[in-house]
Every structure is written in C-alpha cells, then in structure tokens.
Amino acid sequence: MPSNHLVTVEPLGRQVTCREDQSILDACLRSGVWLPHSCTHGTCGTCKADLLDGDVDYGTSSGFALMDFERDEGKVLLCQARPRGDVVIEGDVEVDEGLDFSPVRDHTATVVEVEEIARETRRVRLELDEDMTFSAGQYVSITVPGTDTTRTYSMANPPSETRMIELHIRRTPGGVATDGWVFEGIHVGQRVELSGPYGRFVFRPARDEPAIMIAGGTGLAPMTSMIRHLLADPEDTHELHLYQGARTRGDLYGVEEFQALHAAHPDRFHYHPCLSEEDGGEGFRSGLVTDVLGEDFERCAGHVGYVCGPPPMVDAAMRLLMGRRLFPRDIYREDFFDESDKASGGLNSPLLKR
C-alpha cells in the first residue's frame, strides 16, 4: 500500500493527506482545497507553486512548463509532484467573488450518444451513475478504456444537467484517446471511468460587464456550457458576444443552436461565426476570428473577456484584447494543449495568468 503523507498548503494553513502515488494537486482538489490549475498534465504551468519544505517526485513535468532553474529555486508543478514525505507548499490561492468550486470526485458513466458534428469532431454524451456538481466551463478527466491513460475534456452541458455530460472531441492523428477510442471503438453502452470537476475557466457571475467570448475549434465546449446556463435563467442579465472561429463551414458546429439563441435573446446574446478560408454566405463573417472582433470593437474597455481554443489563437486573442485596452485581469483564458506540447514548448507568456 502506498504511504500517506501530510501536505500543508500555505497561505491557507490547510493540511491534506496525500498518498505517495497521488499528485499533490489531486489530493488538494479532492479535499476541497482549490488551487490554480488548467491542463493537469504537466504542460501549461498554471499549477506552479513553491515547495517550502520536504521532498517530492517531480513526475513528468514539461521542461518548458517547469524549467531547471525553477526547480533549483524550489518550484514544483502540483499536478505532477508526488510527496516523498510530509511537505509544505505555497500556492497562488485566489478567491473569486460568487464562485463556489466543488471537490473532485470519481465517477462512472455510460456512453449514450456519439455523433459527428463537424469535420474530425464528435459529440459524446455520457450518463453518470451519480450527480456531479460543477461550474459552467469546467472539465473532466477520462480514463481511456483499456488503458491507464487519462485525457481531459471540457463539458458543454450546463450545470443544471448533473447526470449527463456532453463532450466535444476533435480527432488528433495518432491520439491514444481519439484515434484509439473516440474515433475507433467507442460505442453506446460502453462504461467509462472519469473524475471531476476540474478547472478555473468558469463564468464569473459577479462580473456584470458585457462578455466578449472568443472560441476556436472545440474551445467552444466550455463557452456552450456558460451560454446555455446563463440564457436559461430568466433572472440573469449578462450580455454575451460570442465569436466562433474555424477555417471552413465544415469545421464549424453548433451554428443552428446559437442562431436560435440569438433570435430568442436578441438583446443579450450576439453570435458571430467566422470562417478564415472560405465565404460561408449570409450570416457568416470572413476572416480570422480576431480580425472580425477587431472590426467590431475599437476599444474593449468596460468588457470582460473569455478566450478558449488552440494556444496560437488564444495568444492572438489576448494581444488583440489588450491592444483594445482590456487588462489581463479582465480576461479569462483556457488553452487546449495536447501531449506534443510537452516536448514542443507550446506554452504562453508566464506574465499572463491563465
């Protein structure tokens, strides 16, 4: 049996029991101690923290997410670090008004639907055996059936759907989870193990400024959860501007749903599907999603930004929003990394909080 060790989390002064084969981040999230994190695979660097006392196994952290000199300075990635005795860590603990994160739990689910929704993209719906409480924008970690490999996917369903998880998954050539399962072998009735909820890319209800939402590829999934959640509430008054980018019409999905939501909520929800490599016709904008947004907003001050998708698109959106006078503290982002980013260093500026 793996040994248990005590993790003290500063500046909270909270103590958490962590197994020797368990990441410190996982132990904290399951104990209700919420620490910053994003990819949970040692790639993005969001969960970087100070090791104040004790020893850890650093795991498979990317050399770009945690550089050698940072290790020498006592930095660790909490999603990879496993204790080798009692440890004390200091995390970048943030408290956001109006947010209440639920502890991570293990779940079992059944595949109930698999549908092609765009080129190389599938919608997968999973029915949970037990309810999951989460915030709009969070994600789950799924164990790929028949392997010990886990992959993370954002939930597109609103928090009101506590038993049904909707995932939007794009194929990665050679991917263990996509080529090895979602696009080969997945079937209705299959049982799946997962855990969640994870992530802090969630809608901030206390921010009452109009929201500019920029989504690329399956970065639309968490935005879908937020939009469905907010527009279903007749008491909610947030104004939302969704800019959805793709190369061609065949790469775009969810169009009919968002067009219907715009028609039903014309004063609250504004939808802009953007195509960079073809003219989609009436109702579609031409150009990169950032170019289209730049045409509409000379200044973004007085708004709040939500950006999700591939790292290059997220970086471009961040530059545009800040160039239009929106401060980094007013922008929330989620980068969709894959395993290749560990080796390639597909990371973002450490000056920007994610």
If DSSP codes are grouped into helix, strand and coil, which group holds residue 213?
Answer: strand
Q: What pLDDT is stored for residue 61 in this prediction?
A: 74
Contact between residue 183 and residue 121 where contact means Cβ atoms under 8 Å apart:
no
pLDDT of 308 strictly over 80:
yes
Residue identified by tokens 């962590």 is 18
Residue 340's CB is within 10 A of a number of other CB atoms, namely: 12
Q: Is residue 297 part of a domain?
A: yes
What would the pLDDT profile of 177-216 be if each residue is shown by its tens digit? Answer: 999 999 999 999 999 999 999 998 999 999 999 999 999 9
Are 220 and 313 within 8 A, CB to CB?
no
Q: Which of 90, 122, 157 finishes a domain?
A: 90
Phi, psi of 192 (to 5 degrees): -135, 140
- The structure's pTM equals 0.87
How would residue 332 be classed by pLDDT, with cut points 50, 70 and 90? very high
Give me the torsion for CA of 78, 82, 338, 188, rounded to 10°: -110
**Residues 147 and 73 occupy one common structural domain:** no
pLDDT for the residue numbered 338: 57
Give the model confidence (pLDDT) of 7-61 as tens digits.
999 988 999 999 999 999 999 999 989 898 888 888 888 899 999 999 999 998 7
For residue 293, what are the domain limits? 211-344
Secondary structure of 277-297 as H, E, C letters = CCCCCCCCEECCHHHHHHHHC
DSSP 251: G
**Torsion over CA: 11, 15, 20, 25 (sign):** negative
Give the end of a domain, one of 198, 220, 235.
198
How many CB atoms are located within 10 Å of the residue 176 CB?
14
What is the chain's mean pLDDT, rounded? 91
Predicted confidence (pLDDT) at residue 345 exceeds the cutoff of 80: no
| 349 within some domain | no
**pLDDT reading at 118 higher than 90:** yes
Q: Is residue 133 part of a domain?
A: yes
Indicate whether 349 pLDDT > 60: no
Model confidence at 351, in pLDDT bands (50, 70, 90)? very low
